[in-house]
A and B are shown apart, each in its own frame.
Chain A
Amino acid sequence: MDIQNQYLLEMIDIDKTFPGVHALDRAQLRLRPGTIHSLMGENGAGKSTLMKCLFGIYKKDSGIVRIEGKEVNFTSPKHALDSGVAMVHQELNQVLHRNVMENVWLGRLPLKKYGLVDSKLMYKETQKVFNELEIHISPTAIIGTLSVSQRQMVEIAKAVSYGAKIMVLDEPTSSLTEKEVEHLFRIIRKLTMQGVGIIYISHRIDEILRISDDITVMRDGQWITTKPATELDNNELIRLMVNRDLTHRFPEKTNKPSGVMMSVSNLSGKYEPTFHDVSFTLRKGEVLGIAGLVGSRRTELLNTIFGVFTKESGEIKVNGEEINNSSPVVAIRNGFALITEERRATGLFPLMNIYFNTIIANIDRYGKLLLSKKKISNDTRKSIDNLKVKTPTAKTAIRSLSGGNQQKVIIGRWLLTSPEILLLDEPTRGIDVGAKFEIYQLIINLANDGKGIIMVSSEMPELLGICDRILVMSNGRLAGIVERGKDFGGIQGEQEHILKLAGTYI
């Protein structure tokens, strides 16, 4: 094979800038045919952005993409699909009201005479792909009625059905159990035998070391290195990803949990999909982590405690007194704060400035009829200073800040309401490494001040890095609580136990 065609795919010096973020800074990727190439990096390192540039969802600012030595420039996903590139997207892009087979064949529905869609053929072909991949889902089931992991498998089957020579899997295992992950690996290996090149994005390092041929590490939108998986190990990968030693990745844990401040007993949500019969306690000055797969109802739990979702039964006691958070307004009055998972969808007012975004949860405090501009700017100024928000002025629209600074503004917003209990849902998602450290430090400081903190996270290292105890959810139920530094023989043992617990009820 001559040197020109050694690679199935080459992405060279890819650059992409969004308002306020240099998402890709001369990123590189070289994929060999018939191999699994993992793309690694922390949240916000630019992995998904790079793949979206490949797939024609984003338009790259500059750089070259070559497939089998030929330069390509996809302007739409259709273009990419037609050229033999398929992708399983991180966010499940599905039309919920329609059935499985229509979703699988969307964009290339088979036709019979007179331009009518051939439903029979569609059914047969879907069934064929599912049989081949040993997926047991009816092609006529409505997508919205399936579980998250079933939907995930449908997406994988869809990507396989394109018969592409390059397949991108962006976090395909985030909602799969260990057994389903094995199933996926069998599928992927089969594809590589047929010469397909796989780009695999995941956060699970052990998974990646097991399955990959090559590994490319990215950090802050830049290419760091590409090496055969056999030359890398756990620690080396983490060091490459975060560019600092594991010991300095998290601030020193100085908080000392004391007496119980909140107890939750037999709490269940009302409307499915939800969680059932969850009991736990939260101590003053404690950071309580919540682990679990996507779809394990961690977000539902936080939202129900905060009164966004309706509770069916169970009780919540704060300092021995029963409280009923029937709505967020009541929850705020009871000293709760919630930092939501989807910052863009449920946290930010993107077009509004920092003043607005800082005071909006606390607006009653700034005057009865007319709001006091002076009080507002004082509080905003204090919030910006305390949290070290990097922004030109307080009048800047929040959407032009980086993810980390946006998150700091939102945390500042909630601190103004003087909460006692903070509920944080994936607080470091989409934030660069440096800012992550600052957020961790902030969480520890809040715990030092005697606040109680509950933190949902999908990133195992950060749960193990700053939590005192970790509660594990599995399919809507509490699977167990891991007390740090006890019984499990160190971090490695704790991690394995958490992963096992996460699959308990599936």
Chain B
Amino acid sequence: MEKSKKIGEFLLNYALYILLGAILVTVSIIRPNFIALNNILNIMKQASTKGILALGCAGIIVLGGTDLSIGRTLGLAAAITASLVQSVNYASRYYMNMTEQLPLIVPLLAAIAICVLISSINGFGVSKLHMHAFIITLGTQLIAYGANCIYIESQPSGSAQALSTFDRNFLDKAAGNLIIGTVRIPYVIIYFALLAILMWVIWNKTKLGKNMFAVGGNTEAAAVSGVNVTKTIMFVYILAGILYGIASFLEAARIQSVGANTGINYELDAISACVIGGVSFSGGVGTIQGVVIGAIILQAINYSLYFLGVNAYLQYIIRGLIIVLAVAIDVRKYLVKR
């Protein structure tokens, strides 16, 4: 009885890792050539941008909220990035009077600024106006989408085509590879890893991180202990905005062409990665390791299904089922039985 309880607990606690292992093992049995460094790097690369988004929105979920505006915010920020990194030799570039390539820090900061702005509006709505995060972010995602369409439409050429033809230097830095011998490691994986480490430190070693868990776990307790709840919430949202900005910058380089529909539904992947990674929607619980693994599992599933040549529509169904399963297992950990 005791033993079976322990095994059950073990399975529950490590369900995520078991799931990840099971996916990889199954696919490699069906297609032994799946286990190749290249495939793994591909999965990691694809997981990276959405992983960075997930690192941002994980904090918001720990606070007991959610963020539906991620995708459209990324779209807007990516469009602004794109307009600022277009090659100056490109005839129908957005800024005609831009005759010299801007330093890359400019588009990066612009992307971060716009994401922080929208995130701050969300944070203000939640902390000061006491709106539910679901509602305020539902509103701001529409605002971001509208702004994105207007921005792209106001091209000097008069067309509303996707922004493309980027500066080589930008593509090299944001979407290039670190070459070690014969191995090419995409920079984006390194950026993701560095940001994950930074976020781990913030979550576990700083006042902001501890206060975030306190506010998410028991707002009343945090307040009577003298935690500035409003400030904590604002911090978490702004931090998320910074991460979204970085992700937008990298995503523009990855897709190389930014249109009105860039970023659509990205919030679903970011939120899925968080919940698969064990960030509880009831607030107060979650780890950065979990979020990283969640992002990788999500991408591993996508990639495996693609690799196996599964019908595209069937892929959606399988992905949906896996998310439901992962979360169903995960919530059992925190379920208070009585």
The chain A residues found within 8 Å of chain B, CB to CB, are 55, 57, 76-78, 81-82, 87, 89, 93-98, 102-103, 106-109, 111, 115-117, 119, 158, 269-271, 274, 300, 303, 308-310
Contact = CB atoms under 8 A, between A and B. Distances in A.
B213 interface: yes
A309 B221 CA distance: 27
Contacts of A55: 224
Contact of A93 (B207, B220, B337, B338): B220
B206 A116 contact: yes
Nearest to A98: B213
Interface SS of chain B = helix
B226 A78 contact: yes
Given A95-B284, A97-B285, A117-B205, A106 B338 contact: no
15 contacts: A57-B223, A78-B228, A94-B218, A95-B221, A97-B213, A97-B284, A102-B214, A106-B210, A108-B226, A109-B210, A116-B201, A269-B338, A271-B338, A303-B338, A310-B337
Contacts of B228: 76, 78
A214 B42 CA distance: 74
B227 interface: yes
Contact of B226 (A82, A94, A274): A82
Given A96-B218, A108-B226, A158-B225, 4 more contacts: A95-B217, A97-B285, A106-B210, A115-B206
Given A77-B224, A78-B226, A106-B227, A95 B213 contact: yes
A107 B222 contact: yes
B284 A57 contact: no
Contacts of A94: 218, 221
B285 A109 contact: no
Interface string B196-216: 000001000111011101100
Nearest to A300: B338
A117 B206 contact: yes
B226 A93 contact: no
Given A95-B217, A109-B210, A115-B206, A87 B337 contact: no
Interface in B206-251: 206-207, 209-211, 213-214, 217-218, 220-228
Nearest to A77: B224
A116 B213 CA distance: 16
A95 B206 contact: no
Contact of A98 (B214, B220, B227): B214
B224 to A, nearest CB: 5
A81 B217 contact: no
Contact of A77 (B206, B213, B223, B285): B223
Contacts of B207: 109, 111, 115, 117
A310 B227 CA distance: 38
A93 B224 contact: yes
A109 B211 CA distance: 9
B13 to A, nearest CB: 14
A106 B222 contact: yes
